[in-house]
């Protein structure tokens, strides 16, 4: 009985090795501008969603390196600046292809902290809005459960600040900030 309970308790720690996974994120995005400017268009969020492919190299019992590719779609409405006549809002969209490079620290068998850099490429921007290509930061805390040490289920709430170091020359850029809860499956190769 003791051996069985020990196996059950310690089998949840991800084994050293390579893992791949897929996930969907329930996200809330916000376009942040450092300085509020008068006479500029207003922006209101409609929806944000993210699909991701993950790769993790679990170096030891506690330390891993995470990367992958994510497609983030942020839909919002733009209301032109007031010009004395009624203004009509229009729907706009930004799509980012992101490659996070995070360090993952696993503790207490089921839980982990992760964070690092996010390399973002603005692949679709229907708005007259700042290009979101750049380097951002992300951090999160998650929980994971591995069935038979091969297949795992994870939940990972995160904050991601896109384009903190951006690749454009805009004087007053709007940067996409994202809060999400990621749910996914992973598989040990």
The Cα–Cα gap between 137 and 34 comes to: 17
Collapsed DSSP state (helix, strand, coil) of residue 148: coil
The distance of Cα 164 from the centroid of its chain, to the nearest Å, equals: 14
Give the separation between CA 90 and CA 119, rounded to whole angstroms: 29
In this predicted structure, which of 16-20, 32-36, 79-83, 164-168 has the lowest mean pLDDT? 32-36
The pTM of this model reads 0.80
| Residue among 44, 48, 46, 6 at smallest CA distance from 27 | 48
Distances (CA, A) of 128 to 91, 108, 164, 173, 176: 12, 47, 19, 12, 14
Question: What is the Cα–Cα distance from 183 to 178, expressed in whole angstroms?
Answer: 15
Sorted by where each starts, the structural domains of the chain and their CATH numbers stand as 2-188 (2.40.160.20)
What's the mean pLDDT in 32-36? Answer: 57
């Amino acid at each position: 009985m003791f051996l069985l309970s020990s196996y059950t308790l310690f089998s949840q720690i991800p084994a050293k090795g390579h893992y791949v996974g897929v996930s969907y994120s329930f996200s809330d995005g916000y376009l942040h501008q450092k300085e509020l400017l008068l006479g500029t268009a207003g922006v209101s969020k409609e929806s944000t969603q993210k699909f991701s492919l993950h790769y993790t190299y679990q170096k030891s019992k506690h330390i891993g390196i995470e990367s992958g590719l994510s497609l983030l779609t942020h839909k919002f409405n733009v209301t032109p600046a007031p010009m004395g006549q009624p203004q009509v809002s229009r729907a706009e969209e930004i799509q980012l292809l992101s490659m996070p490079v995070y360090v993952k620290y696993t503790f207490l068998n089921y839980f982990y902290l992760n964070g690092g850099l996010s390399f973002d490429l603005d692949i679709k921007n229907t708005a007259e809005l700042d290009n979101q290509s750049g380097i951002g930061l992300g951090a999160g805390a998650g929980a994971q459960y591995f069935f038979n040490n091969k297949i795992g289920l994870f939940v990972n709430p995160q904050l991601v600040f896109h384009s903190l170091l951006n690749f454009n020359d805009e004087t007053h850029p709007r940067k996409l900030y994202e809060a999400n809860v990621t749910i996914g499956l992973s598989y040990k190769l």
